[in-house]
Structures are given as C-alpha cells and as structure tokens.
Amino acid sequence: MISRTLLPAMLASAVLLSGLSQALLSQATAQQLCKPALALKGARTSDARNQQRTWTGILVADASRCSTTSGPFEIQFTRLKEIAPDLRFTERFTWRPGQTEVSLDIWWDEWLQDYRIAHVASCPCRD
C-alpha cells in the first residue's frame, strides 16, 4: 500500500514527466516544420470598371526549404472608404514557388491604405 505522504510526490512526478514528454514531442515536431519566405512586391490598384477596382500584388515565394509546392498564407489589409470607417481585414491566398500574382476586388470608392503578410502556414521540411 502507498503511504499518504508518498502519493502526492508520485502524482507530481507523473505530471512532470507527462509535461516533459509533451515538450520533447512538440520540439521534435517543430524541428520538422518549415515556412516559405514570402514577400509582396509591385502592388497596384486598377482604375474603376463596373464600379469595382482590383488590387494586385506580386508575391515572391522562396519555398526551397519546403517539400510541398504550395500552401496557404494571409494578407492583412486596411481599407479606406469615403463614407465608412477604416476597416482592417484579412484575406487568404495560396503561395506557389517563384512569382505569383494575387488579387482582390474592391468597390470603386474604396482604397487599400496598407497591406502586409499576416500569417504563413508551416510546411513539411525538405529532407
């Protein structure tokens, strides 16, 4: 039979070992994940046509560390509009190695003040 003073020590040890094994597992998993290097270049907004404009950016992706050929990422935009408050929103796109054009349709009376890559999903590392 286990004594009452020994039981709390055993439980604490079990919790500590469980946390340690989870940390080691997480560290091993993290070492196997990579992220592509993404950059936006040459963004422009078209003239209004049919009450819409199109924002277009050139995405440059270096995915040499990834074993996949595409993956999701997000761009955060700040939209300005004459008769509405500024709005910060995020849109999801897909990267591919090299240069890719990404675009977003907005209304004729809107303007995108700024944009930035907000999140890039991890990819499996190349061996």
Task: Write down the pLDDT at residue 24.
Answer: 44
Provide the residue count of the chain. Answer: 127
Separation of alpha carbons 48 and 103, rounded Å: 15
Separation of alpha carbons 3 and 37, rounded Å: 57
Place of tokens 């999140």: 119
Task: Write down the pLDDT at residue 16.
Answer: 45
pLDDT-based confidence at 76, cuts 50/70/90? Answer: very high
User: What pLDDT digit, counting tens, does each position of 35-50 carry?
Assistant: 999 999 989 999 999 9
Task: Write down the pLDDT at residue 97.
Answer: 94
Range 96-118 average pLDDT: 95
Separation of alpha carbons 43 and 84, rounded Å: 24
Q: Are the CB atoms for 40 and 75 separated by under 8 Å?
A: yes
Task: Write down the pLDDT at residue 75.
Answer: 97
- pLDDT above 90: residue 119: yes
How many angstroms separate the Cα of 70 from the Cα of each of 26, 51, 98, 116, 126? 24, 33, 11, 19, 13
Separation of alpha carbons 27 and 21, rounded Å: 10
- pLDDT-above-90 percentage for the chain: 70
Task: Write down the pLDDT at residue 95.
Answer: 96
